[in-house]
Amino acid sequence: MNEIMDLSSIFKVLADPTRLAIFNLLMGGVHCNCEIAEKINLPMNLISHHLKVLSKAGLISSFRKENDARWIYYCANPTKISSLRQQLQVFLDKNRIAEREPICLPRKKIESAGVKQ
């Protein structure tokens, strides 16, 4: 059940179109806050909010360059993406789809009455 909750929380984060657009942008490489704001066409404060949510979910990482710590750079987190990909692969495996008949109450009543469908 924990894996379902993990996937659910990631889906919630990425369900926001702005966060999905930012994440998609960061999948293309490292960007600073101002580049993201320019490409997504949103104010810096909103970009910062969405970056915080993506970062808290572990989907992105941030860093500063040693020679100039004024700027924060953001990138997709390959470790989290790899883990998420594996979880999705297991979750969406078509071999998990089983053939079964429902065992609901109306079906039992029909069978006990001897009615064939």
| Res 101: pLDDT | 85
- Nearest CA-CA partner of 75 in 65, 66, 85: 65
Q: Give the other-Cβ count within 10 Å of 23's Cβ.
A: 21
**56 SS3 class:** helix
Please give the mean pLDDT across all residues of the chain. Answer: 90
**HSE, side-chain direction, 13 A CA sphere, residue 38:** 5
Domain ranges of the chain: 2-112
> Between residues 12 and 110, which one has the greater pLDDT?
12
Cβ contact 99:46 at 8 Å: no
**pLDDT exceeds cutoff 70 at 113:** no
Query: Does residue 58 register a pLDDT over 80?
Result: yes
Q: With 60 as the cut, is the pLDDT of residue 116 above it?
A: no
* Rounded mean pLDDT, 15-37: 96
Distance CA 92, CA 99 (A): 16
Q: What is the mean pLDDT of residues 72-82?
A: 97
Q: What is the DSSP string of 79-95?
A: HHHHHHHHHHHHHT-GG
Q: Tell me, which fold does domain 2-112 have in CATH? A: Arc Repressor Mutant, subunit A (1.10.10)
Exposure of 47 in the CB half-sphere (CA atoms within 13 A): 21
Q: Please report the pLDDT score of residue 43 as a whole number.
A: 93
Provide the pLDDT confidence category of residue 114 given band limits of 50, 70 and 90.
low
Q: What is the pLDDT of residue 111?
A: 62
For residues 71-76, average pLDDT: 95
